[in-house]
Amino acid sequence: MTFGRPSLASVFAFRGWRALRHRNYRLFFAGQFVSLIGTWMQTVAQGWLVLLLTGDPFWLGVVAAAQFGPVLVLGLFGGLIADSLPKRRTLFVAQTVAMILAFVLFGLTVTNVVEVGHIVVLALLLGVVNAVDMPTRQSFVVDLVGREDLGNAVALNSAVFNSARVVGPAIAGLTIAATDISVAFLVNGISFLAVLASYRAMRLPALASSARMTRPTTVAGAVADLGEGLRYVRTTPLVLLPILVIGLVATFGMNFSVVVPALARDVLHVGAEGFGFLMAATGVGSFVAAMGIAFGRRSRPALIGLGALTLGAAELVVAASGSYGLSLVAMFVVGLGGIGMAATCNTTIQMTVPDHLRGRIMSVYTTVFAGSTPIGGLMTGILASAFGVPLAIAVGGAGSLVVGLAAYAWYRRRWPAAATATAPAAASDIVIAAEPVDMAAAGVPEAARRWSARG
């Protein structure tokens, strides 16, 4: 009997890491991790820079609105691009443009000529890039791992995003305190090289060939293609309800982060370093939730409502607390609830949609999720400027709490089996209870229709 060297596929065969059996996904995973650390460093540094330049939390909302406004306006068209153009090439171009924008912000800051207007314009341009990048990246995952490991890959994506959310803000806070704020923008620009290298190194034959729609050549054709995706969302409860919940909670509760710089400086009095660790605490909670979903045997759609409820309650604690220690703990719980909700929404949608609509459906998801920031971020900034940061956070927390309670009650009443619902680890494990609909006619894949027979 001989013992050979174990392959990477066998090493990653364990449930929680199964998507990493795929070489292309390992490259994507590693590149995203490095790049996202830089992204979170820039997020923290940009917020702090805006506050230094203006002294008014209202401008934090303006910058957030500028960065995510294009996603709200153009996100659905980004889904058309995701469904009609080669995804890897599209992502490479989008990430290259984002890298250039990071270097421009570094140049403006290091030369001491930066003004808040520059930041708003650069945020607006980055938003245009994200309107294409976000739905394309979301729908690219199935090409990397196939349907069998899609749920696990979605959970691992959340884990890597939130690992970076822990590391990036902490490094940014220390960097700003020890050196110069411009260094964070420089590091972000350099970090894009990792994700660009990962796209270049992928093996094209190993990419799953997902269905690609015919590229529309007229305005009427584009509108018709958009309408097809929107009709699917409207008529498929397993897609519509998660999108409604994520949109409402993102608007009310997940945009409070735009005023965390003011919370750290004016309420908790902990400076840039404390700000970084507050954001990192949220990331730790998010990472724990993501890994729980990745390694769990079943993810329950009821977690969508419970996650929103948890996030809202924790934000109310942050709003009422004047203690840095208690705020850190509450921020951890905010991350736990937020990603428990968001990752479950993403998994439920991804395991339901047919491949030829994936880009357009995910563009609806990302438009609603990220596109809520122009509304929620601006609202939060206005409330913070007029009535104080604690009240702005409390309003968002209360809104999320109400939405979470309503969503959980809805799932429990309409789909009693939601308490034991979907298994994101593999398509073959899916058990989602829903109202009777003609799933075959709606284009829902066979694996995702099995809940109908079991419900």
CB atoms within 10 A of CB 36: 22
Question: Under CATH, which architecture does the 13-203+219-454 domain have?
Answer: Up-down Bundle (1.20)
- Tell me which residue has tokens 């899609």: 150
Phi, psi torsion values for 422, nearest 5 degrees: -95, 145
pLDDT tops 60 at residue 245: yes
Q: What percent of the chain has pLDDT over 90?
A: 27
Say whether pLDDT at 129 is over 60.
yes
Cα–chain-centroid distance for residue 414?
27
Output the pLDDT for position 121: 96
Total number of residues shown for the chain: 455
Q: Report residue 382 as tokens.
A: 């206005």
Per-residue pLDDT band at 74 (split at 50, 70, 90): confident
Name, of 116-130, 210-224, 234-248, the range with top average pLDDT: 116-130
Residue 34 has pLDDT above 70, yes or no: yes
Instruction: Read off the pTM.
Output: 0.69
Between residues 323 and 74, the one the model is more confident about = 323
Task: State the CB neighbour count (10 A cutoff) for residue 1.
Answer: 2
Tell me what pLDDT residue 222 has: 60
pLDDT at 91 over 80: yes
39 in Cβ contact with 123 (< 8 Å): no
pLDDT recorded at residue 454: 33
Give the pLDDT of residue 414. Answer: 66
Q: Which residue has the tokens 């438009």?
A: 367
pLDDT class of 2 with cuts at 50, 70, 90: very low
What whole-number distance in Å separates Cα of residue 336 and Cα of residue 161?
A: 13
| CA-to-CA separations, 130 to 30, 68, 97, 445, in angstroms, rounded | 20, 8, 10, 28
Here the tokens at position 242 are 């998660």
pLDDT at position 119, please? 95
What's the confidence (pLDDT) of residue 428?
Answer: 29
- Which phi and psi angles does 66 have, rounded to 5°? -65, -40
How many angstroms separate the CA atoms of 268 and 274, rounded? 9
**221 band by pLDDT with thresholds 50, 70 and 90:** low
Average pLDDT over residues 254-264: 82
What pLDDT score does 250 carry? 85
CA contacts within 13 A on the Cβ side of 136: 23
39-43, 293-297, 310-314, 396-400: which range is least confident on average? 293-297
Average model confidence (pLDDT) for the chain?
79
Instruction: Check residue 353 and give its pLDDT.
Output: 80
What is the model's pLDDT at position 7?
Answer: 53
What value, to the nearest 5°, has the Cα angle with vertex 376 and ends 172 and 39?
Answer: 25
Taking alpha carbons only, the member of 143, 173, 85, 161 closest to residue 369 is 161
Predicted pLDDT at 194 = 95
The pLDDT of 43-59, averaged and rounded, is 87
Q: How far apart are CA 361 and CA 366, in angstroms?
A: 9
Asked whether the predicted pLDDT for residue 260 surpasses 70, the reply is: yes
pLDDT at 16: 65
**Which residue did the predictor score with more confidence, 412 or 190?**
190
Interatomic CA distance for residues 433 and 451, integer angstroms: 6
Q: Note the pLDDT tens digit of each residue in 151-176.
A: 788 778 877 877 787 788 778 888 88
Burial 326-358 (b: 16+ CB within 10 A, else e): ebbbbbbbbbbbbbbbbbbbbbbbbbbbebebb
Q: Which of the two residues, 220 and 13, has the higher pLDDT score?
A: 220
All structural domains of the chain with their residue ranges: 13-203+219-454
User: pLDDT over 70 for what percent of the chain?
Assistant: 81
Average pLDDT rounded to a whole number, residues 90-115: 95
Kindly give the interhelix angle for 87-110 and 23-54, rounded to the nearest 10 degrees: 30
Find the mean pLDDT for residues 389-413: 88
- Top pLDDT among 445 and 227 is at 227
Q: How confident is the model at residue 450 (pLDDT cuts 50, 70, 90)?
A: very low
DSSP collapsed to 3 states, the chain: CCCCCCCHHHHCCCHHHHHHHCHHHHHHHHHHHHHHHHHHHHHHHHHHHHHHHHCCCHHHHHHHHHHHHHHHHHHHHHHHHHHHCCHHHHHHHHHHHHHHHHHHHHHHHHCCCCCHHHHHHHHHHHHHHHHHHHHHHHHHHHHHHCCCCHHHHHHHHHHHHHHHHHHHHHHHHHHHHHCCCHHHHHHHHHHHHHHHHHHHHCCHHHCCCCCCCCCCCCHHHHHHHHHHHHHHHHHCHHHHHHHHHHHHHHHHCCCHHHHHHHHHHHHCCCHHHHHHHHHHHHHHHHHHHHHHHHHCCCECCHHHHHHHHHHHHHHHHHHHCCCHHHHHHHHHHHHHHHHHHHHHHHHHHHCCCCHHHHHHHHHHHHHHHHCCHHHHHHHHHHHHHHHCHHHHHHHHHHHHHHHHHHHHHHHHHHCHHHHHCECCCCHHHCCCCCCCCCHHHHCCCHHHHHHHHHC
pLDDT in tens, 295-344: 765 557 778 888 999 999 999 999 998 899 999 999 999 989 988 888 88
Name the pLDDT band for 442 (thresholds 50, 70, 90).
Answer: very low
Q: Phi and psi (nearest 5°) for 30?
A: -70, -45
| pLDDT given for residue 173 in this prediction | 80
pLDDT band at 218 (very low <50, low <70, confident <90, very high): low
pLDDT band, residue 82 (cuts 50/70/90): confident
